[in-house]
Structure 1
Amino acid sequence: MATLKRINQDDLRNHNLSVVLNQVLRSPQPLSRADLAKATGLTKATMSLLVSLLIEHGVLREGVPLVQAVYGRPSTPLIIAGGRVCGIGIQINTDGYGYTVLDLDGSTVAERWVDRDLHEVDADEIFADLDAMLLDQEQTLREQGYILAGTGIALPGLVTEDAHLIVARNLGWENIDLMQYDVIKRLNVVAGNESNMAATAHLPGYATQVHDEGMVGPDGSFIYVSTDIGIGGAIVRDGKVVDGGHGFAGEIGHLSVQLDGPQCRCGRHGCLEVYAGRRSMVERAGLASGDAAASQQAIDMFTQAVFDGAEPMHNVYLKAFGAMVSAIVSTINLSDVDTVIIGGCWAQLSAEERERMQAEVQRQILARDKVEAHILLTRDMRRPALIGAAQIGLRKFVDNPLAYLTADSVA
């Protein structure tokens, strides 16, 4: 019975540490011990012990005391220390691959990206290169005294919970067991769809210190639409990505917007991706075909031609715009989530076009008399899926801090 009691006490302390970390990460303003006790419902004595433990292990530090009144003790703000806990994010996309290392305080510790066309490239080659890149980075993190909480990898395809890539059509990859690769096994990598990872990056305070209110709150609900060569999506409800029964929810790019439309790479006809995907728009405009249509130069040419009002580019854009509206309306009707965040090439819409899209969506949604749709554009976040993957890794520490702190003490 004594052993059972000790385990329960450890579980309770671990839970309370996680609650404290969540509260600190989600607050744009530094909180004192008293603020944390009030926000969490924990006693001041318990809070003092928990904070002392986090300070002792270099996770938190005390800021400059604030004198709030003539009488009474100054309030001491608590701040994520930085330089102690980090997470690694890996991404493989059609335009390259690489990694980023995020500190718990939200700063970027290190990053590396290889620009490369990855259509039909050999998966073994890419994972071998990532392995070599990250071996060097891991050694550097150890020398800097970092605790590596975890690692996530964002992939443009369907990925199962047991790290099996079913298909990534824009890479030409199918049926790949990711656990065969040393880098995945060594770092115990959490693999996921890039849209889900990108959506996670938009949740303020999810696993890194929040510095502003963000586009949505920590417990926000929104639809994320990732627009690139392919189009992906994710549904976030109450601060959590809705994975679905098998982990494949949110595939907005493969909603059919025209049943007799062109055939998509997925095999169906008239998918959103056929009309509004980056490569599809370039090809339909006749500017380039095949791999050349997927280049940044090609989409830049298309965008400029649309801006200049040139035909047939402008007509292609109008059809793509209508397809985007149609798919977003269907997703809002299905999910009852009224906020949509768009990332990627469609996030470069002008203010006027964003407003026009929002107005069209509002006009068409079923509950238009009761629900107000919001279309938001991600412009200030470079490679959100990469950031989200690192946060997935960091979240392991936030959810189970005592395991890392105990291991750190032993080391």
Structure 2
Amino acid sequence: MSSSVVSTPAGAVRQTSLREINLALLLGRIAAAPRPPSRADLAADTGLTRATVSAVVDDLIGGGLVTEVDPTPRARAGRPARGLLLAGHGPAGLGLEVNVDYLAACVLDLAGAVRHRTVRRVDLRLLSPGETLGLVAELAARARADADDQGLTLAGAALAVPGLVGAGGVVRLAPNLGWREVDVPALLATRPPLTEAVPGLPALVVDNEANLAALGELHAGRAGVTDFLYISGEVGIGAGIVLDGTLYRGGRGWSGEIGHLPVHPEGRPCRCGGRGCLEQYAGQEAIIGAAGLGGDDLPAHAARLHRLADEGDPATLAALAEAGTALGVAVAGVVNLLDLDTVVLGGGYAPLARWLSPPVTAEVSRRVLTAAWAPVTIRPAVLGADAAAVGAAGSVVRRIIARPHAWLARCG
């Protein structure tokens, strides 16, 4: 097969075969198609010859990345062609999440179906980073065993954490966990499946949980919504900013720390060292405290909060209204700055959106300069509270779709 030459930024030269390019091109088109395309559809869409398309599709099918489906009956004459879909029986992504009061694991197949999900409730502020990551490894091992039983192969993993993540997966700061300069990959260096990489694909990627949740929402959300602010409401509050279908990370990769925007500049002290941060008024602990649900069992109180809100408990409704107002103040500032038309309430906010949305909407309507003729939509996350773990697994799946030759080389 002929090849093209690509120069790297360092000036080195590497060979990128046309086969690699065509594999990624056709798999990407199959993944993005609104209905299963045929081989003829792909040839017409890409300009490749039918023979080339057929050969590449055969490789994708042989590698467990694509499957053929029976054609839809049609009225006109001629034999209808079989359609092509992403396969649900080959590679899969492992998504993991560390938050303040729980751990989660999710396995997503290439077709986007959740094949495994585990949530473990535990107050991680009481554990060291090493102890916490040991529990993460246990969840990963359980997920891997379940994936193996289903005939899936984990092609990589992504870990979502509630903090600032630097180069190489080092968590620079996660104030609500008490983490500072935690080298996550080093602490997991001997833990399969978090160390077993497919050649050409990373074994483990560490990223901010709101960023991964926003990416999950982007790919699982409503068609046509490519600009939005995703807010993850847990003990801490993070945000993922999506602009023109792309996650905005900022110049150093640390954008989205909406929880530390001051809503009362001389207000309550925050774990970050500041005062009056949004987390102190709209974080999960703040809402639970305002509702009069004191105590150390945060997961139990979070479940009780939802139940009391559903029952119309006055103290709970007042706490949610106060939190929604504070959240609306912060959201309005972001919307004024970035001109976004959609705000997605995710994480622990998703099941509470029914009560949080009205005060958030009221503040946004009052404070956003353009709200009178350009209303802002406030809605719960499509993926609900699972967005970070699903988004993490989805990031692995999308890497496979972008670089299928790496997976096929492993299989060959």
Normalization by structure 1: what TM-score? 0.86
Equivalent position to 1:310, from 297, 303, 314:
314
Q: Which moved more, 1:244-253 or 1:189-198?
A: 244-253
* 1:98 Cα deviation from its structure 2 partner: 3.6
- Measure, in 2, the Cα distance between the counterparts of 1:45 and 1:273: 58
Distance in 1, matches of 2:109 and 2:204, equals 17
Pairwise mapping of residues 114-133 of structure 1 onto structure 2 (< 5 A)?
A: 114-133=120-139
Could you give the per-residue CA deviations for residues 320-353 of structure 1, whole angstroms, max 9, x where no partner exists?
Answer: 2211111111111112221111013332346586
How far residue 256 of structure 1 moved from its aligned partner, in angstroms, is 1.1
Equivalent pair of 1:226/1:233 in contact (CA under 8 Å): yes
For residues 4 and 222 of structure 2, the distance between their equivalents in structure 1, rounded to whole angstroms, comes to: 44
2-side partners of 1:300 and 1:88: how far apart?
30
2:226 corresponds to: 220
Superposition deviation, residue 284 in structure 1 = 3.4
Correspondence 1:296 to 2:300? yes
Q: Distance in 1 between the 2:352 and 2:146 partners?
A: 40
- TM-score relative to the length of structure 2: 0.86
The equivalent residue for 1:190 is 205
Q: Which residue of 2 aligns with 1:20?
A: 26
Q: 1:220 to 1:298 in 2, by over 3 A?
A: closer
Alignment partner of 2:77: what SS?
A: coil
Q: Equivalent residue for 1:406?
A: 409
Matched residue, 2:81? 75
Contact 1:278/1:299 (8 A) holds in 2: no
Say if 1:282 and 1:302, in contact at 8 Å, map to a contact too. Answer: no
| Corresponding letter in the other structure for 1:223 | L
Which of 134, 137, 161 aligns to 2:140? It is 134
Kindly provide the CA deviation profile for residues 32-69 of structure 1, in whole angstroms up to 9, marking residues without a partner as x: 22333344444434322221221222221221123434
1:12-51 aligned within 5 A: 12-51=18-57
Aligned partner of 1:234 among 233, 236, 240: 240
Equivalent residue, structure 2, for 1:269: 275
Separation (CA, whole Å) in 2 of partners of 1:38 and 1:263: 61
Alpha-carbon distance in 2 for matches of 1:110, 1:303: 27
Q: Secondary structure at the match of 2:330?
A: helix
CA distance in 1, matches of 2:369, 2:103: 41
Which deviations, in whole Å up to 9, do the C-alpha atoms of 1:345-370 show, x marking residues without a partner? 33234658635633542342122255
Would the aligned equivalents of 2:230 and 2:345 in 1 still touch at CA under 8 Å?
A: yes
Distance across 1 between alignment mates of 2:404 and 2:209: 26
The equivalent residue for 1:208 is none
Once the 2 structures are TM-superposed, how far is the Cα of residue 4 of structure 1 from its aligned partner? 6.7
RMSD: 2.9
Shift of 1:17: 2.0
- Give unmatched runs, 5+ long, in structure 2: 7-12, 198-202
Q: Note if 1:113 corresponds to 2:116.
A: no
Which residue of the partner structure matches residue 209 of structure 1?
A: none
Whether 1:177 and 2:192 are equivalent positions in the alignment is no
Q: Secondary structure at the match of 2:331?
A: helix
- Contact 2:164–2:172 (CA under 8 A) maintained in structure 1: yes
Q: Which whole-Å CA distance do the structure 1 matches of 2:135 and 2:354 have between them?
A: 41
Deviation at 1:192, TM superposition (A): 0.5
Match of residue 93 from structure 2: 87
Q: Structure 2 vs 1, CA of residues 372 and 42 (structure 1 numbering), >3 Å: closer, same or farther?
A: farther
**Aligned residues, how many?**
396
Verify the 8 A CA contact 2:347 2:385 in the aligned structure 1.
no
Query: How far 1:139 moved relative to its partner?
Result: 6.0
Task: Give the secondary-structure state (helix, strand or coil) at the position aligned to 1:250.
Answer: coil
CA distance in 1, matches of 2:320, 2:105: 33
